[in-house]
């Protein structure tokens, strides 16, 4: 599975599909807090889009566009978002992950919870995205 | 201070990811962050322990959701005690690990620390959570990082790690299955809540299934004979620092989970009278003590010997749990602490030996006593403690276990405890003899073998000294912490 | 016993469990063990999901027609739990596959018997 | 007593334990400079003796200075207390340590032994453990120091690091660790039965527990301390351990280790069970039979040994059982004889061992059959040997006589006339295996030994001093060190209910 399949159809179709997949992933992430979906699912779909590209366009080409290092950074940033959203309420008198205490002015507790979940789901989405790509790279890579 | 229960695992969890980021900038940053994260978590645990001793338990509701709806974290005497032990020993080993990892697997430096922090996060998570399913999640976090960490070792490590993974996953799945039965019977996942609803359901077969599955799973994670098969290989092939980290605390945390299930979830009455699982654990443990000791005697590889000795020592904990009387349980809990110190010290000594000589054959350790005096002094203290020579710590856990067995009138357990300390003496004195009494022959030990650098020596010696300190202060620990834990049994 | 026959789905779950367990313990190929592991875990997921169902209930998303009537929605908690469990399972499989890659690169086999032989040969 | 004195006496037993522990550390730190190292040893020995003997007036006046440090297990404290029994043991051990230290220096330097730092450090730790055993105020404290002694002696036993030494070390550990395990079990059972472990003169166990459990407990104790006391059939480690350097055999295998065993036995019968209870449950008869058998068998075995140290080892086995026998009887005289023999036998046996070592250093000979005429070359050494031999045979004017006299009296008093059958021949047997050495040395002639050339003064002076001590104990039992008064006070406290 290394290198391009050198098949115009496969390549073209994947290039065409990937934006749609990613848009859908974003939709899944951003609607997770009030409908079916969420960070896990969206993250997986995002990762799937990257994997599709790696399979169809070849790893060497793909690694330049979305490098394994970037995947690690994405995962780490995701967890940071989660951490900040989780820990901030502590400073304002709430419990861990109690978004009602997020320091955003002008919002009621319910609204804060609503948006807090979105923030955390975004973080989770990034983590899953990054982690799955790392896993994929590790499994496909020739040498550890 | 009320946030302590959540801060303990979360600090570790987040530092795991910060390590990934920091490691890109500078490799040693990973080590620094790990050390800071570990120490912070230890400070939180110690503060938690202090808070619990002085003012009773802490309960924490994640996200402000009240149980049974929300996930609850709780620090009581038992969990605060455990998390202090785990974070303390973990941090000391982290301090130790830098040079060892740099020598053995330098190319994995940053991920190793990230994984180690994940492992600690998982273990502390298991300890502080009061939610049955959350416990599963942390169990898997810890196990997954352990599989990955162990696989980095020598040639055969991935195979050993894979076996561990298969068995560990079976254990994890069994546990979830058991929790499923509990959940569908009681409608709750919160430990205290489940405990409250269980007495009405004692007749139910679903609860029998749940208890059996959960204890099999935890027994496997704890490496309680005969579910120990994964342990020797996994411990022997992993990098020194990894074994040093995993061996002293991981199985202990599983033992903690067993105690938690016994005391908090199912309640002693159920597991002693209705479904007598505790005696079963006790008898398997008694068999395991002998099995581990005898197998340890048969080993020629120092680390493998320590691995089998672990099986035997864990079985001591199992025996204490199986006795299910206050003395026995105190013995088990004290042995968790003592053995964590002793085994950490011993595995660090093994790491030091490997660091300087590159091998572990017992027959080739001759003359190291003079070349590595401090390392071997730490080894001697821990070995004597393992045998149960007072006033080293190991003696006192055996003392309580002995009193517990006498109290229960179980003379076979009494004989087991006593005989096994002789067996332990056999395999440790064999090593001591090599180390001190034989002169090094040519080409067995490098001429320049010496004590390792301070960053490795300090934790080793500190743990060795800790064994003595714990021994002398054991009554303080027992009376201020453990007595509270076993209160419900009295 | 009755309940097992009436609730045939539990019977299916149980057989999946057994198949998975057999795969993990009985199969000599390491990759098949991983597949067995996945089957086993899937069976557990099914068990939880089945436990969440209620006759005539719908997905636990706010619906004006049902309103606040809890009986109208299936129990969402097992679903959430299983979502987490799936993530765990994916991670386990990932680690397992990564291990298998390393093993294969080192010993060029995933058959347990051959593997053991080769491990003995190369200390 | 003033407050200063009071607090001094509270700390004194602890000080006696710590002195040599600190010395051990100093010894290890000064491994580069032998002179400094040996200075520490001597200093520690003198300090220890000074601390121990400073307690003598207080103890004789009926005080029991001591300190309770902290609880080491629920209800059991790490506690030290100097009572007459403990003090007499501590006094003899610390007094003889001074001589042994001097002798060790002479011996080790003369033979240019390796690893002397480890040797002196282990020695110091052993003495700490011995003090701890002597002053332990409860069974758990006793056990802690008892095991510490076992471990600290191990490096001394295998000092030679040769194959036979290692195998002797294994034998030593196998026996003594097993004994420790038996003792541990016994102490655990005691804790569960009585709820306390604190020694009390006259015993703290009550007869209501029942005869069978108590007898079982007693047997466990007997096995536990009997291994150290080399009671047959638990004795075979002692001759094996003779492979150690001679000063080790001298102090540890005639004074500290084995005496810790018999001292432990006295503690158990006198302060755990109480002689009356021990007699009630039939434990005394059992012990008396075992001890008598040991005396006879070991004496016979001693005659068969050609190696001088082995002969002395078996002689030790036999004579230790005198003490066990004495403290097993419900008669004050027997107790007095037994307890006094702890000090008396120590002085005599250490002299003999010192002599054996001096002969070895000077001539390299270890066998009795090779010693013809050695009295010509080493008259001082052999004279001391003769004094020790006379004492062990039980002749008047040497310490052994006093003890035997009281032992006989006690055997008669308690009506155990059977025991005389063991005691009487044993004196003769002792004479039979020790006197030939003396006669060989002085009255047979050999070409090997012609001119006077005794061992170095660092060895001769200690052995003459201990011989003098043996004489002192025989002529004036209460002289200088008041061993007799101490033993008498100990007996009075234990047997206060029994008419003297």
The pLDDT tens digits of the residues spanning D255-280 come to 888 889 999 998 898 888 888 888 88
* Chain B residues close to C103, C-beta within 8 Å: 158-159, 162
pLDDT attached to residue A2: 43
Contact predicate B198/B207, CB 8 Å:
yes
Q: What is the pLDDT of residue B405?
A: 92
- Lowest average pLDDT, out of A49-53, B440-444, D373-377, goes to B440-444
Domain, as residue range, for B380: 277-490
* Residues contacting residue B147 through CB under 8 Å, at least 6 positions apart: B161, B162, B164, B165, B168, C95, C99
User: Has residue B216 got a pLDDT over 90?
Assistant: yes
Task: Judge: B422–D166 Cβ closer than 8 Å, yes or no.
Answer: no
Task: Give CA angle at B10 (B6, B14), nearest 5°.
Answer: 165
**Residue B58, SS3 per DSSP:** strand
Q: Is the pLDDT of residue B1 over 70?
A: no
pLDDT of C1 higher than 60: no
Residue D462 CB coordination number (10 Å)? 29
Confidence (pLDDT) at B404: 92
Which of C48, C91, C115 has its CB closest to that of B159?
C115
Partners of B158 on chain C (C-beta within 8 Å) are 99, 102-103, 106
Give the C-alpha separation, D193 to B487, whole Å: 22
How far does C25 lie from chain B, in Å, by closest CA?
9
The reply to whether residue B24 touches residue A86, judged by beta carbons under 8 angstroms, is no
Chain B nearest-CA distance from D181, in A, is: 6
Contacting partners of chain C (3+ CB pairs under 8 A): A, B
Q: CB–CB of B331/B398 below 8 Å? A: yes
For residue A48, count other CB atoms closer than 10 A to its CB.
Answer: 18
For residue B439, list chain D residues with Cβ-Cβ distance below 8 A.
161
Worst-scoring range by mean pLDDT, A11-20, B224-233, D66-75? Answer: D66-75
DSSP assignment of B188-202 equals --BHHHHHHHGGGGT
D361-372, pLDDT tens digit by residue?
888 888 888 888
* Predicted local confidence at residue B42, as pLDDT: 94
Measured between beta carbons, which residues in chain B are less than 8 angstroms from residue D181?
418-419, 421-422
Q: Domain limits of chain C? A: 2-121
* Inter-chain residue contact B14 with A97, CB threshold 8 Å: no
B171-209 residue pLDDT tens: 999 999 999 999 988 888 888 888 888 888 888 888 899
- How far is it, in rounded angstroms, from Cα A130 to Cα A137? 11
Pairing of strands B72-75, B58-61: antiparallel
pLDDT at residue D491 greater than cutoff 70? yes
Q: Which of D126, D245, D132, D120 is nearest to D176 (CA)?
A: D126
Residue B482: both structure tokens together:
């453990």
Q: Do chains D and B touch (3 or more CB pairs under 8 A)?
A: yes
The pTM (predicted TM-score) of the whole model is 0.90
Say if residues D250 and D215 touch (Cβ distance below 8 Å): no
Nearest to B166 by CA among D79, D86, C24, D225: C24
Segment A19-47, tens digit of pLDDT: 999 999 999 888 877 777 788 889 989 99
User: Tens digit of pLDDT for each residue in D400-415?
Assistant: 888 888 888 888 887 7
Q: How many CB atoms lie within 10 A of CB D209?
A: 15
Contact between residue B431 and residue B302 where contact means Cβ atoms under 8 Å apart: yes
Any domain includes B168: no
Contact C61 A138 (CB under 8 A): no
In this complex, the residue of C47, C85, C95 whose CB is nearest that of residue B148 is C95
Considering only alpha carbons, which residue of chain D is nearest residue B419? Answer: D181
Per CB-CB distance under 8 Å, the chain A contacts of B21 are 73, 76, 80
**From the list B388, B400, B433, which residue is nearest D166 (CB)?**
B433
The correct answer on CATH 3.40.50.1860 for the domain covering C2-121 is: no
- Taking contacts as CB-CB distances below 8 angstroms, the residues of chain C near B181 are none
Cβ contact C41–B155 (<8 Å): no
Q: Is the pLDDT of residue D309 over 50?
A: yes
User: What's the whole-number mean pLDDT along residues D375-401?
Assistant: 85
B contact set with D (CB within 8 A): 384, 387-391, 395-396, 398-400, 402-403, 406-407, 414, 418-419, 421-422, 425, 429, 433, 436-439, 472, 474-475, 478-479
Which residue is closest to C123 within chain B, CA to CA? B155
For residues D464, D465, D467, D468, the Cα torsion angle rounded to the nearest 10 degrees is 120
Using the Cβ of B61 and the Cβ atoms of chain A, whether some distance falls under 8 Å is answered with yes
B411 in contact with A at a CB cutoff of 8 Å? no
Q: Which chains touch B (3 or more CB pairs under 8 A)?
A: A, C, D
Mean pLDDT value of segment B247-271: 89
Nearest CA in chain B to A97: B63
Q: CB distance A40–C59 less than 8 Å? A: no
**pLDDT band of A143, cuts 50, 70, 90:** very low
CB contact under 8 A, C91 and B147: no
Three-class DSSP labels, chain C: CHHHHHCHHHHHHHHHHHHHHHHHHHCCEHHHHHHHHHHHHHHHHHHHHHHHCCCCCECCCCCCCCCCCHHHECCHHHHHHHHHHHHHHHHHHHHHHHHHHHHHHHHCCCEHHHHHHHHHHCC
> How far is residue B71's CA from residue B134's CA, in Å, rounded to a whole number?
8
| A96 with B60: Cβ contact below 8 A | yes
Q: Give the pLDDT score at A141.
A: 64
Q: Which residues pair with B59 in a beta bridge?
A: B74
Which carries the bigger pLDDT value, residue B206 or residue D447? B206
Q: What is the pLDDT of residue C41?
A: 92
Distance CA B366, CA B344 (A): 22
Mutation site for D-interface testing, chosen from B328, B331, B366, B391 by largest number of D Cβ within 10 Å? B391
Q: Exposed/middle/buried for D495, CB within 10 Å: 0-12, 13-18, 19+?
A: buried
**CA A88, A92, A98, A103 torsion-angle sign:** negative
Q: What's the CA gap between B316 and B255, in Å, rounded?
A: 11
Give the best residue of C61, C63, C93, C94 to mutate against chain A (max A CB count within 10 A).
C94
Contact B180 C51 (CB under 8 A): yes
Q: Is the pLDDT of residue B433 over 60?
A: yes
Residue B411 lies in a domain: yes
Distance of CA B33 to the CA centre of its chain: 23
D272 is written with which tokens? 């755990």
Distances, alpha carbon A38 to alpha carbons A44, A87, A96, C91, in Å: 10, 21, 20, 18
Three-state DSSP at B400 gives helix
CA distance B258 to chain C (A): 21
Distance from CA of D188 to the nearest CA of B (A): 6
Whether residue A107 lies within 8 A of chain B, CB to CB, comes out as: no
* Average of per-residue pLDDT across A101-116: 79
Distance, in Å, from the CA atom of B365 to the CA atom of B439, rounded to the nearest integer, reads: 9
C-alpha distances (whole Å) from B248 to each of B89, B163, B238, D108, D382 are: 8, 20, 14, 43, 59
pLDDT, tens digit (0-9, with 9 covering 90-100), for A36-88: 778 888 998 999 998 888 888 877 777 778 888 888 888 888 888 888 888 88
C65 to chain B, closest Cα gap in Å: 25
Which of C47, C99, C106 lies at the smallest CB-CB distance from B165?
C99
Is C16 touching B (CB cutoff 8 A)?
A: no
The answer to whether the Cβ–Cβ distance between D192 and B407 falls below 8 Å is: yes
HSE-up (13 A, CA, CB side) for residue B186:
27
Whether C and A touch, i.e. at least 3 CB pairs below 8 A, reads as: yes
Counting one residue from chain A and one from chain B, the pairs whose CB atoms sit within 8 A come to 45
Minimum Cα–Cα distance from A94: chain B residue: B64
Sorted by sequence, the CB contacts under 8 Å of residue D151 that are 6+ apart come out as: B384, B389
∠ CA(B7), CA(B13), CA(B17), 5° rounding?
135
Q: Do residue C122 and residue B155 have CB atoms under 8 angstroms apart? A: yes
Phi and psi at residue D396, to the nearest 5°:
-60, 165
Q: Which tokens hold the place of C115?
A: 């593997």
Q: Is residue B481 part of a domain?
A: yes
Give residue C37's pLDDT.
93
Q: Do B21 and A90 touch (CB under 8 A)?
A: no
Report pLDDT digits (tens) over C70-114: 777 888 888 888 888 988 898 899 889 888 888 888 888 888 888
pLDDT at A5 over 90: no
Q: Rounded CA gap, D285 and D200, in Å?
A: 23
pLDDT of residue A144: 39
pLDDT digits (tens, 9 = 90+) for B311-327: 999 999 999 999 888 88
| B433:D158 CB<8 A | yes
The rounded distance, in Å, linking the Cα atoms of D482 and D488 is: 10
Higher pLDDT, D254 or B334: B334
Instruction: Test B159 with C103 for CB contact under 8 angstroms.
Output: yes
| Poorest-pLDDT segment among B220-224, D7-11, D164-168 | D7-11
Q: Which of C61, C94, C102 sits opposite A135 (nearest CB)?
A: C94
| pLDDT exceeds cutoff 70 at D10 | yes
Residue A126: per-residue pLDDT: 92
State whether B389 and D170 contact (CB < 8 Å). Answer: no
Residue B107: partners with Cβ closer than 8 Å, 6 or more residues away: none
What is the DSSP secondary structure assignment for residue B140, as one 8-state letter? H
Which of D76, D143, D177, D189 to probe the B interface (max B CBs under 10 A)?
D177
Q: Is C91 on the interface with B (CB under 8 A)?
A: yes
Between helix B109-128 and helix B77-104 the angle, nearest 10°, is: 170
Phi then psi dihedrals of residue D339, to 5 deg: -65, -40
Task: List the beta bridge partners of residue D136.
Answer: D80
B72: enclosing H helix or E strand = strand B72-75
Domain count, chain B: 1
């Amino acid at each position: 599975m290394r290198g391009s399949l050198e098949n115009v159809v496969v390549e073209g179709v994947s290039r065409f599909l990937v934006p749609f997949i990613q848009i859908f992933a974003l939709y899944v992430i951003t609607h997770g807090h009030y409908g079916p979906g969420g960070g896990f699912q969206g993250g997986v779909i995002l990762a799937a889009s990257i994997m599709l590209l790696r399979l169809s366009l070849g790893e060497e080409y793909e690694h330049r566009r979305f490098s394994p290092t970037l995947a690690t950074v994405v995962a780490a940033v995701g967890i940071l978002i989660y951490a900040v959203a989780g820990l901030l309420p502590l400073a304002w008198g709430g419990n861990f992950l109690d978004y009602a205490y997020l320091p955003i002015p002008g919002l009621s507790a319910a609204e804060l919870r609503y948006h807090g979940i979105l923030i955390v789901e975004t973080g989770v989405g990034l983590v899953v995205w990054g982690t799955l790509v790392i896993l994929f790279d590790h499994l496909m890579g020739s040498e550890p | 201070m009320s946030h302590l229960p959540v801060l303990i695992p979360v600090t570790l969890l987040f530092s795991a990811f910060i390590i990934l980021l920091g490691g890109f900038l500078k490799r040693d940053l990973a080590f620094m962050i790990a050390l800071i994260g570990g120490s912070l978590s230890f400070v939180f645990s110690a503060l938690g322990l202090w808070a619990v001793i002085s003012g009773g338990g802490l309960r924490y509701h994640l996200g402000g959701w009240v149980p049974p709806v929300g996930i609850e974290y709780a620090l009581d005497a038992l969990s605060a005690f455990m998390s202090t032990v785990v974070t303390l020993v973990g941090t000391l080993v982290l301090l130790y690990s830098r040079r060892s990892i740099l020598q053995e697997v330098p190319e994995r430096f940053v991920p190793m620390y990230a994984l180690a922090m994940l492992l600690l996060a998982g273990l502390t998570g298991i300890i502080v959570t009061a939610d049955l399913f959350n416990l599963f999640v942390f169990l898997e976090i810890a196990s997954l990082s352990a599989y990955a960490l162990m696989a980095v070792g020598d040639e055969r490590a991935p195979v050993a790690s894979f076996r561990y993974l298969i068995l560990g996953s079976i254990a994890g799945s069994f546990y979830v299955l058991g929790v499923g039965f509990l959940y569908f019977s009681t409608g709750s996942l919160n430990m205290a809540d489940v405990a409250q609803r269980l007495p009405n359901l004692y007749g139910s077969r679903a609860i029998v299934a749940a208890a059996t599955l959960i204890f099999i799973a935890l027994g496997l994670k704890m490496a309680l004979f005969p579910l120990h098969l994964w342990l020797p290989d996994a411990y022997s092939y992993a990098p020194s620092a990894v074994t040093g980290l995993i061996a002293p605390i991981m199985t202990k945390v599983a033992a903690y989970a067993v105690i938690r299930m016994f005391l908090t979830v199912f309640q002693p009455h159920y597991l002693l009278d209705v479904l007598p699982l505790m005696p079963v654990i006790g008898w398997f443990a008694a068999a395991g003590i002998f099995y581990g000791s005898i197998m340890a005697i048969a080993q020629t590889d120092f680390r493998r010997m320590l691995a089998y000795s672990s099986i035997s020592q864990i079985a001591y904990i199992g025996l204490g749990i199986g006795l299910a009387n206050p003395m026995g349980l105190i013995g088990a809990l004290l042995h968790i602490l003592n053995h964590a110190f002793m085994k950490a010290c011993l595995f660090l000594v093994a790491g030091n030996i490997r660091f300087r000589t590159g091998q572990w054959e017992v027959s080739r350790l001759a003359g190291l006593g003079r070349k590595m005096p401090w390392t071997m002094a730490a080894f001697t203290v821990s070995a004597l403690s393992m045998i149960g020579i007072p006033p080293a710590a190991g003696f006192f856990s055996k003392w309580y276990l002995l009193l517990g067995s006498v109290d229960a009138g179980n003379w076979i357990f009494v004989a087991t405890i006593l005989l096994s300390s002789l067996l332990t003496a056999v395999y440790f004195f064999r090593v001591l003899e090599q180390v001190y009494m034989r002169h090094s022959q040519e080409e067995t030990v490098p001429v320049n073998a010496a004590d390792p650098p301070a960053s490795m020596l300090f934790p080793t010696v500190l743990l060795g000294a800790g064994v003595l300190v714990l021994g002398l202060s054991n009554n303080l620990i027992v009376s201020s912490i453990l007595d509270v834990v076993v209160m419900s049994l009295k | 016993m009755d309940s097992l026959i009436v609730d045939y789905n539990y019977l299916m779950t149980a057989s999946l469990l057994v198949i998975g367990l057999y795969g993990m313990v009985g199969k000599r190929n390491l990759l098949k063990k991983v597949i067995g592991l996945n089957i086993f875990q899937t069976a557990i997921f099914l068990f939880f999901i089945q436990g969440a169902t209620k006759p005539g209930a719908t997905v636990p998303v706010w619906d004006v027609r049902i309103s606040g009537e809890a009986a109208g929605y299936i129990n969402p908690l097992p679903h959430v739990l299983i979502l987490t469990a799936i993530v765990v399972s994916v991670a386990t499989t990932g680690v397992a596959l990564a291990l298998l890659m390393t093993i294969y690169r080192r010993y060029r086999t995933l058959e347990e018997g051959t593997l053991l032989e080769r491990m003995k040969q190369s200390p | 007593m003033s407050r200063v004195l009071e607090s001094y006496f509270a700390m004194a037993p602890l000080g006696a334990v710590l002195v040599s522990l600190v010395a051990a550390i100093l010894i290890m730190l000064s491994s580069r400079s032998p002179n400094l190292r040996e200075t520490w040893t001597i200093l520690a020995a003198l300090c220890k003796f000074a601390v121990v003997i400073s307690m003598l007036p207080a103890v004789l006046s009926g005080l029991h200075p001591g300190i309770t440090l902290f609880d080491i297990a629920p209800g059991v404290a790490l506690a030290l207390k100097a009572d007459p029994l403990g003090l007499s043991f501590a006094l003899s051990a610390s007094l003889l340590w001074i001589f042994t230290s001097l002798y060790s220096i002479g011996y080790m330097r003369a033979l240019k032994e390796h690893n002397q730092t480890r040797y002196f450090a282990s020695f110091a730790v052993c003495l700490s453990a011995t003090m701890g055993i002597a002053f332990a105020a409860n069974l758990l404290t006793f056990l802690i120091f008892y095991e510490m002694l076992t471990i600290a002696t191990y490096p001394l036993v295998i000092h030679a690091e040769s194959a036979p030494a290692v195998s002797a070390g294994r034998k030593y550990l196998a026996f003594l660790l097993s004994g420790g395990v038996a003792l541990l079990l016994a102490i655990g059972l005691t804790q569960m039965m009585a709820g306390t472990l604190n020694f009390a003169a006259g015993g703290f166990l009550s007869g209501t527990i029942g005869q069978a459990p108590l007898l079982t407990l007693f047997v466990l104790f007997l096995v536990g301390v009997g291994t150290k006391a080399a009671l047959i059939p638990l004795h075979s480690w002692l001759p094996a351990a003779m492979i150690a350097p001679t000063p080790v055999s001298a102090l540890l295998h005639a004074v500290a280790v084995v005496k810790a065993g018999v001292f432990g036995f006295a503690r158990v019968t006198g302060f755990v069970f109480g002689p009356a209870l021990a007699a009630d449950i039939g434990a005394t008869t059992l012990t008396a039979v075992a001890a008598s058998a040991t005396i006879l068998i070991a004496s016979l075995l001693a005659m068969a040994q050609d190696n001088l140290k082995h002969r002395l080892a078996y002689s030790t086995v036999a004579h230790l059982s005198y003490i066990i026998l004495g403290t097993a009887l419900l008669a004050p005289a027997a107790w007095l004889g037994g307890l006094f023999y702890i000090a008396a036998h120590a002085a005599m046996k250490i002299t003999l061992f010192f002599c054996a070592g001096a002969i070895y250093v000077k001539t390299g000979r270890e066998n009795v059959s090779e010693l013809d005429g050695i009295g010509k070359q080493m008259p001082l050494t052999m004279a001391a040997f003769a004094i020790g031999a006379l004492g062990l045979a039980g002749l008047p004017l040497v310490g052994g006589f006093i003890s035997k006299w009281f032992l006989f009296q006690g055997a008669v008093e308690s009506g155990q006339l059977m025991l005389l059958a063991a005691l009487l021949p044993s004196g003769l047997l002792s004479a039979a295996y020790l006197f030939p050495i003396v006669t060989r040395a002085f009255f047979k002639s050999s070409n090997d030994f012609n001119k006077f050339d005794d061992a170095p003064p660092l060895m001769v002076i200690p052995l003459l001093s201990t011989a003098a001590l043996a004489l002192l104990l025989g002529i004036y039992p209460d002289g200088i060190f008041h061993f007799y008064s101490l033993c008498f006070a100990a007996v009075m406290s234990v047997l206060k209910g029994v008419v003297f």
